[in-house]
Each structure stands twice: as C-alpha cells, then as structure tokens.
Amino acid sequence: MTDFEETNMQEPEREEVNIESGVSSDTADFEPLEDILPAEKKPKKKRNFFVENGIIIFCVLAILFIFFVARLIRVDGTSMTDTLQDGDIVVLWQLNYQPEIGDIVVIGAGENVPERYIKRIVALEGDTLKIENDTVTVNGEMLNEPYIREADWGEESIEMTIPDEQIFVMGDNRNGSHDSRAIGPINKGQVQGKVIQRLFPFDTFGSTELK
C-alpha cells in the first residue's frame, strides 16, 4: 500500500455575519441601525387655548359683565324702606336698560346728585307730573303705589312737565328721602341701571318688583 502523508485538512475560516446589520463582523466601524433609520416622530400635543388661558378669559369676561351687564350694589340708607333696607345687597341690571315708571334705579353722582342714589322712577321725560295730597298723578292718572312706607307724606305740592332726557324719582320712604322733590329731575345719563333682585340678606331673597 502506498503511504499517504497525513495532511491537516482544515476547513477555511468562515466569516461571522451579523444578521441584524447585514455586514461582516470583521468590518471595522459601522453605524448602529438606530442611527441609520429615521427616528420615530412623537405626536405633538394639541394646545387648548381655553385651558391654557382660562384665568385670563375668566377675568376679561368678569370685567365685561360688571361694566356692561350687571353687578352687585349695596344699599346705603333708609330712603327705600320698606322695599329695600340699609345694607341689602341687590343686583343692578345695566345692559340695554331703558327707564320706565315704577323701576328702582341706581343713580350715579353728578349734577344735583352728590352721591349715588337708589330711588324709584315716578315720571319720564315729557310726562306731566302732579304731586298733591299724598298722591302722584302722571298725565292725569293717579299712580298706584303700594310700596310707599307711609300714606301721609305729601306736605308739598308740585306740578310740572318733565324736561327732555330727564326723569323724576322719589324714595319709597317718602318722609325720609332726599329726591327729585328737593333736587329736581335727574338726567337720564346718570342712571346706571335697574335693581332687579335682592340677594342678601337671604331671608329676603327675591325680586323687587312691587309695582
């Protein structure tokens, strides 16, 4: 037999392949997959304007409401008893208000009015007013006034036609009210609004409509 020399049969070295990256493991310096693929974009949160600016919006609305719609007023004095008492808290309606006979109104300080008044309208511009013997007559018709505190109050007599853009007001407590009987008619522009509701004290909560 022919002797054969032993030969070291070595298998050739296999290159390890990085299956995930698709390149040989002996390749120097390769970029990680996450650096190659574009990063996933996170959805942006929608900004809610009303939530982010809620306090500002609330303050603006409150200011607009107070100046143009309605606000709270404290009654000072006794000229409107027994309808309103000193210290009552009432709601004053201002939006698009037009004076009417019988309305309780707040009058701002100005001509003939040294401070804020709360009175009741008894006559409007152009009306013929006559006050005599504890009664008020407007355009020939006597007013029904169940709200006045005392029936005996008419010491003076007044007869006049209310000038344009003015109103005639009196307190329900006729014997304890400084009103148009002393200072004359009031400019309509000084009327701030109509009292529509009593809020405090709570045991007298309710409307002031007592015409």
CATH number at residue 71: 2.10.109.10
In a domain? residue 40: no
Domain interval for residue 92: 51-202
In a domain? residue 91: yes
Rounded CA-CA distance 173/145 in Å is: 12
In the set 24, 41, 79, 180, the catalytic residue is 79
In a domain? residue 123: yes
Q: Please, what is the average pLDDT of the chain? A: 80
In the set 21, 44, 119, 180, the catalytic residue is 119
Would you say residue 176 has pLDDT above 50?
A: yes
In a domain? residue 102: yes
Q: Catalytic: 45?
A: no
Please report the pLDDT score of residue 41 as a whole number. 58
Query: What burial class does residue 141 get, using C-beta atoms within 10 Å of its C-beta: 0-12 exposed, 13-18 middle, 19+ buried?
Result: exposed
Rounded CA-CA distance 60/15 in Å is: 74
Rounded CA-CA distance 66/195 in Å is: 14
In a domain? residue 143: yes
> Which of the two residues, 189 and 67, has the higher pLDDT score?
189
Rounded CA-CA distance 173/169 in Å is: 12
In a domain? residue 16: no
pLDDT, tens digit (0-9, with 9 covering 90-100), for 87-119:
999 999 988 899 999 999 999 988 788 889 999
Lookup: tokens for 7 = 């030969």
Rounded CA-CA distance 19/186 in Å is: 96
pLDDT, tens digit (0-9, with 9 covering 90-100), for 43-59:
566 666 666 677 887 77
SS3 144: coil
Q: Catalytic: 119?
A: yes
CB atoms within 10 A of CB 193: 21
In a domain? residue 27: no
Fill in the amino acid letter for 104. Answer: I
Give how many domains the chain has, as a whole number: 1
* Mean pLDDT along residues 21-28: 47
Lookup: tokens for 147 = 């709200």
Please report the pLDDT score of residue 4 as a whole number. 43
In a domain? residue 180: yes
* Mean pLDDT along residues 153-175: 93
Beta carbons of 167 and 121 less than 8 angstroms apart: yes
Residue with tokens 């709200």: 147
Q: Please tell me the pTM assigned to this model.
A: 0.68
Rounded CA-CA distance 189/182 in Å is: 19
* Mean pLDDT along residues 71-83: 93
